[in-house]
């Protein structure tokens, strides 16, 4: 079996050590506890226990749920590729972990840099987790076709552009995007898609088709883990055992917390949870309906259920803190589930044949299109904002409108502009990222070694010869 | 392989669209944010941040844990049937999701209908999750023998009766049942059992026994996922890979939160958590003891461990908010684990042979009998309530006794009456439900297609011919 | 297949019943609700709702996360041994459950025994969970080589020594150890290792090597669950399917909550979360770097990733509530990941060959060495404590220094002394435990039945004959 060439074996460990060394150095120079985490600063202020609790506990709660969702949902169980299981989960873990450190620094410089220091608290952790979420979405588009060193460089670049985009939208343009329809989903999806476009491998099909015969679907069927058969045309398509359904359920259950973590306290968070919850129920129902309708014979497709059902969480990312109304949440979720299911059925094949885009996990259907829909929904709901509907709550949701600095219409225009900024930065960044990870010393795996754990992991020696024996035996017997 | 007949392929998508359309319409007409989730209403009131937090966060916390428990515990991983994995998890997801919307409306009309509108907040979400829990329990009794369209209709009916029963018990009779020993577990279990009785299939065994030979247990053993072999007598009995143990652990860990979510704040919730925690430890120990005792050769049965160990959570559903005492919690849990284990061993076979009841997941042992025990325990503990034991806490736990409108004895009688009301509504409702889902246009799967994913899912073509080849080869060689 | 001898079949159920009976009796005599969980006591006090909430909610939150981490992370998915899956997860469950009851009593006598009664509240539950965590760590060292009755006795003894050690450190010596680097990880690991030393089985290799041929790794590879092949030299080494990665992710995600659950409210908890989070990111990056460096061919080892990446949580157990600084957290995590990875690579083989220590799950690398490192880190950070750095926060973190009863240096000396006390008690306790569980009536499994579910579970009859047939067929054909 192919090994990493001798002189390049050091690329991954050296990158890890270099990156860790650099972030550690920057931490030593710049990062300090903020006033809530520093013992002296906190006790110097005259805080009552109630204040203490107040400051402490909300982020704690939000943080833990977001953390579970990013690492268990976006990360682990992202996809089960047949011979790429170790790499899928472990590279996700590596990339997300590095991003947490790196994003702490980037977002710190942009948002909490005072007196020469970055002041970190639990909000830093939540924001870093969001950045890791966007990087993992991009990862989904190139899964199996990139090595760990390439992914680290992708994360290095993407976190920078993510932070810049987030800063432009939230701080410069005054755009509202609590749940990240734009900053997380749209940005992450299109960054990954543009990057995947640059890495297009025209011969991937043939090289994989040769190998896929090793996996006889009957074996899967026999062991009681129903799986989607590898299509001979798209062998990199994930197979879906029960395990990956757990990812769907975790994301579905924690999405209300994810969208509500960064919104204003009180009615804002409460409303976000209610809207996200109902939107997800509607996207699930529409996914089941559409999946059965488009299949031709009334049967369902597990790929749709496990992915499109979640589009309701993406689509209300921007608007769930607004007065979307419960009915609005249902309608938005229904639309998102429909669009996402149709995307898997009709658009994914076109993406590859027409646009030369190999989107391993279908991030365009789950994050790209629903993210754009969510941005547009945000435009519409912002345009409809009135003092009557929000009362004094306008100060929390649309502070610039409340202060009279903007009309609802101009807020809507800013929201729309934010969407285009996101798309532009994702396109430029993803393309640059593609060129970056093509650098020869990063050792892009050759086509024949895509979707192969053997390249990166100490796994049992390739048993190809043995596994084929029974088949040959049979043939012999039958001949 | 059998397909859904052409003219009936549209039943499922049309039901999904119809139900979603209807609930969306009703949402548009009736459902509004409540005063905590509406921006204008909340900020109009003169709430301090502390109040805001107070109202907001408690339910948030309770909600997230209940949501995880219902969807991960009751739902996903409910059971792994060998060729029914996709259907088990996905139909659970579909049914639960629809129930959330539908229960929001039903419970809203009964509990929070003011000025022509239903006012939703996070308590609505918790209550809807509880209703979904009951529906999933019923689902467990008919799993594998009903199609998704049938299950949607079952949920439609059951949610109505659940809400009516809950309203009668909690609002009319003043019965206490925070953790739902009666309203959730007893109701869900007997609704499902009566429904299953109506759907009795006398030929199910034969048709399945023919198929089960495809699965050679040696394959399971070889791949290191120990499983319970299909009994040739009861081929619909779940097989239990490691994955389903995760369900047990999730339920076990989150049950204290589940029982405590709707109780009074303060000591009430705190006590509920403590009681449920200790009750679960005792049911686990008694399950291990009994499982080894009844096996005949001292070995344990994984079916007992994965199910009866949880009976301690069910049995204190009614009484865990009361002054049960830590010892009382241990005793109750011990009894529940014992009864549930004995039920799996001795009662399940009788249920089928004598009562023509095919209880796929054994809900009678985990939810039915422990639920009834829990209701009776509630009667006893209520009868023992004194002003001395509860102090001013009596106002929270037994407000009618505290106000002098009832004696402890009459509260106990009401509790007992509530149990019978629950049984009666479950019996009538389940029987009606059975007749409803037998409607011909719903396409009940024929016996030969029970427990088969192929009917509903786009899975690899049936590889029966191929999988049998190695066996034939062997035979040839040996002959 | 070997069965449990007839006259010994009753040992496990009798132990379960005896232990449950004894704890229930002690509960009846001694255990009472504390003032926060007792209806009368709570309402007798003049508590405002805010106080009520205050007391109630913090522990609630901490409790749920700790509970998930101990049962899902430490417990379930601890390890997947090929033919020992049922036993791994279920014995873990049994032992942890019993420990919760027993630790409630032991810790209650030491910490909350007033007026002849133990007063339990949610802090009792958290502390009992911590004790169960330590017992499960020890379990990891002897997994597969001990039966359930032996494990119950081990837990009986270990919980006593754990509680005594915890009492000496925290209450007598005034040592700080919030996240339990010493009391949980060091104690649990060395208790288990000494116990494992006493149980050393010199013939284990041979007896297992004979059996391991049943599992052809090609089958694993074919079903798409990549696994580590059993080494013929150490057949008890766990194989690592995807499932066990979930354990890693759960532990990684919940470790910040685990370390922060028992620390002081406010800045203390907040800082603990931040430190643990960053330490874990650094241990992950160093694990990837070191794993690739030591492999010789640049490939990664999944055993390292799934374990050493977590060492960052262990190493800051003592110091994460202190002013470790974000950079300090990164450095500590980096060091821990490095030491742990090197331990798996170079030290584990020596442990067995030189010290006759068969450490099934490698607890020495994940809990032992990082725990000691964490204790020493605590010594250093305590020695550096100044009034300037902590301000009034010194009262929460180092109350004895704040009161002037100790200098920072003497606190450091006490910390160091605490580490040695822990090691001494673990060594003595583990050795005693080894002698205890060797009692003949406990039926230690013979070498040939280690790592075998068949002994304890009703699983399908051993299909060895059948599984080997295909291979024989092949041989025949080839001959």
Q: What structural domains and CATH numbers belong to chain B? A: 9-33+59-208+237-458 (1.10.3430.10)
- CB spacing of A100 vs C470 below 8 angstroms: no
What letter would DSSP give residue C185? I
A64 interfacial to chain C (CB closer than 8 Å):
yes
Closest partner residue to C270 among A37, A83, A85, by Cβ? Answer: A37
- What are the pLDDT digits (tens) for C196-239? 999 988 777 654 443 333 332 322 322 333 333 333 333 333 34
C17 interfacial to chain B (CB closer than 8 Å):
yes
Q: What percent of chain A has pLDDT over 90?
A: 39
What percentage of chain B's residues is helix, strand, coil (to nearest 5)? 70, 5, 25
Please report residues of A whose CB lies closer than 8 A to that of C247.
none
Map tokens 């202060």 to a residue.
Answer: A403
Beta-bridged to residue A120, according to DSSP, are A33
CA distance C60 to B257: 9
Lowest mean pLDDT among A171-180, B75-84, C37-46, C160-169: B75-84
CA distance A15 to A149: 7
Q: Given this model, what pLDDT does residue C431 score?
A: 96
- CB spacing of C65 vs A64 below 8 angstroms: yes
Cβ-based neighbours of B151, under 8 Å, separated by 6 or more: B91, B94, B95, B139, B142, B437
Closest partner residue to B267 among C23, C42, C82, by Cβ? Answer: C42
Nearest C-alpha in C relative to A451: C224
- Is the pLDDT at A443 greater than 90? The verdict is no
- Is the pLDDT at A368 greater than 90? The verdict is yes
- CB spacing of A474 vs B476 below 8 angstroms: no
**pLDDT confidence band for C455 (50 / 70 / 90):** confident
* Nearest one of C257, B202, B76, C359 to A244, comparing CA atoms: B76
- Is the pLDDT at A113 greater than 60? The verdict is yes
Q: Given this model, what pLDDT does residue B134 score?
A: 95
- Is the pLDDT at C84 greater than 60? The verdict is yes
B225 interfacial to chain A (CB closer than 8 Å):
yes
CA distance C66 to B36: 31
Alpha carbon A90 to its chain centroid, in Å, reads: 16
A12 interfacial to chain C (CB closer than 8 Å):
yes
- Is the pLDDT at A239 greater than 50? The verdict is no
What is the enclosing helix (H) or strand (E) of C114? strand C113-114
Regarding predicted confidence, which is higher, C226 or A401?
A401
CA distance A397 to A322: 7
CA distance A159 to C16: 54
If DSSP codes are grouped into helix, strand and coil, which group holds residue C239?
Answer: strand
What letter would DSSP give residue B3? -
CB contacts < 8 A, A to C, total: 264
CA distance C217 to B399: 64
The token pair that represents A297 in the structure block: 């014979």
Question: Do B409 and B383 form a contact (C-beta atoms < 8 A)?
Answer: yes
B12 interfacial to chain A (CB closer than 8 Å):
yes
Q: Given this model, what pLDDT does residue A37 score?
A: 67
Neighbouring chains of C at 3+ CB pairs under 8 Å are A, B
**DSSP secondary structure string for all residues of B439-454:** -GGG-PPPGGGTT-GG
Closest partner residue to C265 among A16, A52, A61, by Cβ? Answer: A52
Regarding predicted confidence, which is higher, C23 or C78?
C23
- CB spacing of A85 vs C226 below 8 angstroms: yes
The token pair that represents B111 in the structure block: 């509990």
Q: Given this model, what pLDDT does residue A425 score?
A: 97
Lowest mean pLDDT among A473-477, B459-463, C450-454: A473-477
Q: How far apart are the first and last CA of chain C?
A: 32
Could you list the pLDDT tens digit for every one of the 479 residues in chain B? 445 555 567 777 788 788 787 777 887 787 777 766 676 776 666 554 445 443 444 445 567 788 888 887 776 545 555 567 678 788 888 999 999 999 999 999 998 888 888 888 878 888 999 999 999 999 988 888 888 889 999 999 999 999 999 999 999 999 999 899 999 999 999 999 999 999 988 777 654 543 332 232 322 322 333 333 333 333 333 444 555 677 788 888 889 888 888 877 777 888 888 899 999 999 999 999 999 888 878 888 888 888 899 999 999 999 998 999 899 999 999 999 999 999 988 988 888 888 888 888 888 999 999 999 999 999 999 999 998 888 888 888 899 999 999 999 999 999 999 999 999 999 999 999 999 999 887 778 887 777 777 778 776 443 333 333 333 333 333 33
**pLDDT confidence band for C242 (50 / 70 / 90):** low
Q: Given this model, what pLDDT does residue A42 score?
A: 64
Regarding predicted confidence, which is higher, A350 or A169?
A169
CA distance C441 to C153: 12
Closest partner residue to A64 among C257, C285, C390, by Cβ? Answer: C257
CA distance B209 to B205: 6
Nearest C-alpha in A relative to B224: A223
Neighbouring chains of A at 3+ CB pairs under 8 Å are B, C
Altogether, the residues listed in chain A come to a count of 479
A40 interfacial to chain C (CB closer than 8 Å):
yes
Q: What is the mean pLDDT of chain C?
A: 79
Give helix A369-383 / helix A408-437 axis angle, nearest 10°: 160
Please report residues of B whose CB lies closer than 8 A to that of C16.
285-286, 288-289, 292
Q: Number of C-alpha atoms within 13 angstroms, CB side, residue B384?
A: 13
Q: Given this model, what pLDDT does residue A82 score?
A: 53
Give me the helices (H) in C112-241, please. Answer: 122-142, 148-166, 187-198, 204-212, 217-222
- CB spacing of C302 vs A241 below 8 angstroms: no
């Amino acid at each position: 079996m192919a090994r990493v060439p001798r002189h390049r074996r050091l690329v991954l460990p050296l990158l890890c050590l270099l990156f860790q060394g650099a972030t550690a150095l920057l931490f030593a120079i710049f990062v300090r506890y903020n006033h809530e985490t520093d013992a002296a600063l906190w006790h110097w202020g005259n805080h009552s226990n109630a204040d203490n609790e107040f400051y402490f506990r909300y982020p704690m709660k939000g943080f833990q749920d977001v953390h579970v969702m990013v690492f268990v949902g976006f990360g682990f169980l992202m996809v089960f590729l047949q011979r790429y299981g170790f790499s899928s989960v472990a590279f996700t873990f590596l990339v997300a972990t590095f991003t947490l450190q790196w994003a702490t620094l980037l977002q710190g410089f942009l948002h909490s840099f005072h007196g020469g220091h970055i002041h970190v608290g639990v909000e830093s952790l939540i924001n870093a987790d969001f950045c890791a979420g966007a990087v993992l979405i991009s990862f989904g588009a190139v899964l199996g076709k990139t090595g760990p060193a390439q992914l680290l460089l992708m994360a290095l670049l993407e976190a920078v552009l993510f932070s810049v985009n987030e800063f432009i939208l939230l701080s410069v343009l005054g755009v509202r995007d609590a749940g990240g329809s734009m900053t997380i989903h749209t940005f992450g999806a299109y960054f990954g898609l543009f990057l995947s476009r640059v890495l297009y491998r025209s011969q991937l099909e043939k090289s994989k088709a040769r190998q896929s015969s090793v996996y006889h679907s009957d074996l899967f069927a026999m062991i009681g883990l129903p799986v989607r058969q590898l299509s001979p045309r798209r062998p990199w398509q994930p197979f879906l055992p029960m395990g990956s359904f757990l990812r769907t359920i975790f994301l579905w259950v924690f999405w209300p917390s994810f969208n509500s973590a960064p919104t204003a306290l009180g009615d804002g968070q409460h409303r976000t949870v209610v809207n996200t919850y109902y939107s997800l129920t509607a996207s699930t129902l529409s996914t089941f309906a559409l999946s059965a309708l488009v299949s031709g014979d009334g049967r369902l497709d597990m790929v749709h259920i496990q992915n499109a059902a979640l589009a309701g969480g993406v689509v209300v990312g921007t608007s769930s803190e607004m007065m979307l109304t419960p009915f609005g949440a249902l309608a938005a979720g229904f639309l998102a589930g429909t669009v996402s299911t149709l995307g898997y059925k009709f658009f994914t094949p076109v993406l590859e044949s027409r646009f030369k885009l190999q989107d391993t996990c279908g991030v365009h259907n789950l994050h790209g299109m629903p993210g754009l829909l969510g941005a547009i929904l945000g435009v519409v709901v912002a345009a409809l904002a009135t003092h009557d509907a929000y009362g004094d709550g306008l100060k929390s949701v649309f502070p610039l409108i409340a202060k009279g600095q903007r009309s609802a219409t101009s807020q809507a225009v800013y929201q729309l502009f934010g969407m285009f900024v996101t798309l532009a930065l994702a396109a430029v960044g993803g393309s640059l990222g593609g060129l970056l990870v093509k650098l020869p010393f990063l050792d892009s795996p050759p086509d024949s070694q895509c979707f192969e754990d053997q390249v990166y992991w100490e796994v049992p020696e390739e048993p190809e010869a043995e596994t084929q024996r029974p088949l040959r035996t049979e043939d012999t017997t039958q001949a």
